[in-house]
């Protein structure tokens, strides 16, 4: 399959995008980075793949309980599946000239590549080799050097071969570059040991790990996970360090938090997480006690972003229902990325500019679900979310009463949904809703 990939990319004279941590995607590019939230039970493989077809650059697994995942094979089989093609390939605009460090680019001739430095213990001599840099201008690699521009860092992850291609043959602008999307596994844990064990098991298959510090459900709080960690910054610090101690300082670990009614505690949590070495922070703009029907606080998200002091990039989350909501969040809070949850459930093509789920997204989802395999309750629930804006109340009641995947598919066919395996085409242009190759 590696030869298939190389051949297909060579046919179109396209550079193969190198793997990058999410922090690099958020820092190195001026294009907005879009993220699928860790949805409860709903962020399974078929839906993640679907969102990646529609300008969602980073996807998260549903929240996984680290203790069960590390101890039970059946839990691992039920909670996590992936595929080599679920990550998308996207055109984005470069942001260069920000110096050297983790998530910063260097130029090799006319090619811009990420430069990633890890903890000193990750390097043979204790320090990264900078001999290939032009010390007068550290953003330039010396022309007389054959040294690779990417410094090594310890990681258990080797990107698998894939067949995904970008949505268009040509870059939209002369500053455009190709990136490959990322998959993040989110875990909930009350202690460092279980989290590190789970991280070691999942590390070969994902691009990073996220610690859930924001689940507001009562059962989670009682178990000492989710929002129970919001006022335990020392424990969060210890858990992040435990994962990095197990996998290496260069392994990306992030945290997802909610704002606290007392913003001083939010500042304390953010600073503690950064001191532990997190790669990025996701901030939900509601407190633990606020329902999802209540409005988010953009000023509170901005406060958390300012608490990070630019040391790590931040992602904003909460009440993103359309592209305008995402643009407003970026403009008013300073976040580098925007995460969608319920908005993407209702419209997986949200970030591609659609105001509601287009017909071809439903067709893609059915094909992906059939090919990957998705249990009926989740298959039915996703379709109900996507079709809600298209159906009248009586139609929704009828659809919700269907009892099998076959019945649901037959109903969709009767409503004019075409079900070829669209996603098997190598180039899919989400904005046009069609494949570029036949």
Q: How many residues does the chain have?
A: 438
HEC secondary structure over the chain = CHHHHHHHHHHCCCCCCCCCCHHHHHHHECCCEEEECCCCCCCCHHHHHHHHCCCCCEEECCCEEHHHHHHCHHHHHHHCCCCCCCCCEEEEEECCCCCCCCCEEEEECCEEEEECCCCHHHCCCCCCCCCCECCCCCCEECCCCCCCCCCCCCCCCCCCCCCCCCCCCCCCCCCEEEEECEEEEEEECCCHHHHHHHHHHHHHHCCCEEEEECCCCHHHHHCCCHHHHCCCHHHHHHHHHHHHHHHCCCCCEEEEEECCCCHHHHHHHHHHHHHHCCCCEEEECCCCCCCCCCCCCHHHHHHHHHHHCCCCCEEEECCCCCHHHHHHHHHHHCCCEEEECHHHHHCCCHHHCCCCCCHHHHHHHHHHHHHHCCCHHHHHHHHHHHHCCCCCHHHHHHHHCCCCHHHHHHHHHHCCCCCCCHHHCCCEECCCCEECCC
Say if CB 220 and CB 190 are below 8 A apart.
Answer: no
Is there a catalytic annotation at residue 227?
Answer: no
The residue annotated as part of the active site, out of 194, 213, 215, 227, is 215
Say if CB 92 and CB 173 are below 8 A apart.
Answer: no
- Cite the active site residues: 215
């Amino acid at each position: 399959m590696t030869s298939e990939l190389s051949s297909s990319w060579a046919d179109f004279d396209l550079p193969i995008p190198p793997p990058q941590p999410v922090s690099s995607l958020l820092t190195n590019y001026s294009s907005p980075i879009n993220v699928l939230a860790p949805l409860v039970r709903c962020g399974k493989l078929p839906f993640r793949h679907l969102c990646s077809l529609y300008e969602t650059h980073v996807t998260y697994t549903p929240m996984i309980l680290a203790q069960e995942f590390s101890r039970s094979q059946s839990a691992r089989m039920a909670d996590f599946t992936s595929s080599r093609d679920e990550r998308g390939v996207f055109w984005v605009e470069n942001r260069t000239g920000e110096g050297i460090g983790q998530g910063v680019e260097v130029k090799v001739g006319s090619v811009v590549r990420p430069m990633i430095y890890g903890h000193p213990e990750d390097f043979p001599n204790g320090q990264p080799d900078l001999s290939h840099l032009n010390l007068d201008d550290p953003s330039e690699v010396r022309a007389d050097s054959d040294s690779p521009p990417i410094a090594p860092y310890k990681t258990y992850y080797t990107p698998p071969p894939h067949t995904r291609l970008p949505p268009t043959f040509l870059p939209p602008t002369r500053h455009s570059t190709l990136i490959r999307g990322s998959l993040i596994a989110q875990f909930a844990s009350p202690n460092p040991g279980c989290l590190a064990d789970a991280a070691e098991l999942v590390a070969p298959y994902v691009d990073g790990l996220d610690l859930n510090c924001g689940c507001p459900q009562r059962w989670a709080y009682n178990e000492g996970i989710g929002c129970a960690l919001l006022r335990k910054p020392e424990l969060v610090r210890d858990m992040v360090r435990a994962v990095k101690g197990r996998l290496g300082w260069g392994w990306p670990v992030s945290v997802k938090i909610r704002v606290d009614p007392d913003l001083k505690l939010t500042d304390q949590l953010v600073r503690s997480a950064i001191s532990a070495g997190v790669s990025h922070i996701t901030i939900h703009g509601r407190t633990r006690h606020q329902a999802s029907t209540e409005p988010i606080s953009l000023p509170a998200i901005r406060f958390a972003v300012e608490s990070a002091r630019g040391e790590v990039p931040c992602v904003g989350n909460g009440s993103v229902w359309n592209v305008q909501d995402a643009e407003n969040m970026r403009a008013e809070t300073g976040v580098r990325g925007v995460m969608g949850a319920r908005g993407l459930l209702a419209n997986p093509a949200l970030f591609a500019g659609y105001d509601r789920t287009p017909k071809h997204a439903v067709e893609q989802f059915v094909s992906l679900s059939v090919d990957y395999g998705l249990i009926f309750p989740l298959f039915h629930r996703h379709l109900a979310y996507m079709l809600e804006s298209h159906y009248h109340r009586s139609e929704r009641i009828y659809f919700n009463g269907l009892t099998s995947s076959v019945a649901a598919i037959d109903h969709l066919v009767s409503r004019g949904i075409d079900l070829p395996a669209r996603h098997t085409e190598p180039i899919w242009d989400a904005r046009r809703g069609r494949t570029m190759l036949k």
